[in-house]
Amino acid sequence: MRLPDQPVTALGSSQPSASRSRSAGASLDVAHWCVSQGWPVHPLAPGRKSPVGNCRDCRMEPHQPTACRCLSAGRWCHSFHAATLDRNRVRQWWGARPDLGVAVSCGPARLLVIDIDAHSAPVPERNRILPGIPIAPHVDLTGLADGFHSLAVLAALRGRPSPADDSSTLRVRTPSGGLHVWYRAEGPHRWQSSVGSSPRRALAWQVDVRAHGSYIVAPGTTTRHGTYTLLGDTREPAVLPSWLAQELDRTGHLPASSTRAAAPVPSRARQAVASARGPQHGRHTLATVLAPVRACALTPEGAGFSDILNRAAYTLGGLIAAGRLAQPEAEQALRETALSARPGQERRIEQIVRSGLTAGLKRPLHDSGRHS
């Protein structure tokens, strides 16, 4: 199914400098087209690629999205959790606020988007360019500068063309010079998102994966930095290539097997507590560290989130180094709390957490009081 005539004009524009009024007027058409594809949509803040902030009530009393009365009332709180296929709600949202951008919730849309970045940044250690694939010291990496290069190296190793060059699927150029490559995630798999070069889950350096639990900016949306512009003539996502699915499986983008024993599984935070020196002590310690991060959900912007998260990561690193908390579970508890406070900011959160933990692990934090 091709885009209807009006959205083709709006989405196909290659002029990032187009007037805000024309771009804003296209938002309703873009949202309707996404819905026609079966992709749930939710609003982005004007001129930004981040979701519209929660209402005052949701900020004052943090709660799980599933328990939020705003969603059932047709309001857009809680980021991609508010994504909808309801055309009446779409008209209500973007009809009243045509300046809002459009995002697609990847999980319910059964989409997996390869997000290729072209940031100017130092090349990481060789074992983090292609996680799980060692690059020998004699291999010349001169010229490797961004996600386009690292993904091309992975594809070449597998004897496949790079997804960046896959003209059979929907591709969207980003204002920063990156590229979104859209695929259909068919089958029973529930693919997980990731940030490029993450020590936990990653496909390649400067290559993010947008899938379950994240969203992607819809083509045609304009931010203060420019427009997300369609590349080529293809307007439909192709099925995720099998070789790429195998790489995503290899790099940890599938959840743990559902065939495990059906016994209740404690939350990651509880696992971290259970691994600490005494459950009550560990529960209190972890809750104390995470509390300031969790409180940032009350204020969508201007809460000093980066500094708060960095301090929490540093503290957790010290507790882990002292043997007072188990590292994998404590790290995951911190990431989940941070993502709950700032949905859709995986890259920023991952960078802050990694930096803070690395520093904290060098400074063990032992109890200053008496222990029995």
State the residue for tokens 């696992």.
271
Question: Residues of the chain with pLDDT > 90: what percent?
Answer: 42
pLDDT beyond 60 at 245: yes
pLDDT beyond 80 at 358: yes
Average pLDDT, integer, range 133-155: 90
Question: Residues of the chain with pLDDT > 70: what percent?
Answer: 81
* Mean pLDDT comparison of 73-82, 156-165, 355-364, highest-scoring range: 156-165
pTM as predicted: 0.67
Whether 76 and 101 have beta carbons less than 8 Å apart is answered as: no
H or E segment to which residue 156 belongs? helix 147-157
- Give the torsion sign (CA, 96, 102, 107, 110): positive
pLDDT beyond 90 at 71: no
* Mean pLDDT comparison of 2-11, 228-237, 254-263, highest-scoring range: 228-237
The one-letter amino acid code at 312 reads A
User: What pLDDT does 299 receive?
Assistant: 65
User: What is the rounded CA–CA span in Å between residue 286 and residue 330?
Assistant: 8
The CA-based dihedral angle spanning residues 348, 40, 341, 268, taken in that order and rounded to the nearest 10 degrees: -90
pLDDT beyond 90 at 238: yes
Q: How far is CA 169 from the centre of its chain?
A: 21
User: What is the rounded CA–CA span in Å between residue 177 and residue 60?
Assistant: 38
**Which residues, at least 6 apart from 359, have a Cβ–Cβ distance to it below 8 Å?**
314, 317
Whether 131 and 124 have beta carbons less than 8 Å apart is answered as: no
User: What is the rounded CA–CA span in Å between residue 76 and residue 307?
Assistant: 28
Greater pLDDT, 331 or 369? 331
What digits encode the pLDDT tens for the residues 169-180?
999 999 999 999
pLDDT beyond 60 at 4: no
User: What pLDDT does 300 receive?
Assistant: 61
What digits encode the pLDDT tens for the residues 289-328?
888 888 777 666 656 788 788 889 989 998 888 888 888 8
Neighbours of 234 (CB within 10 A): 16
Any idea where the domains of the chain sit in the sequence?
5-250, 268-360
Average pLDDT, integer, range 37-58: 90
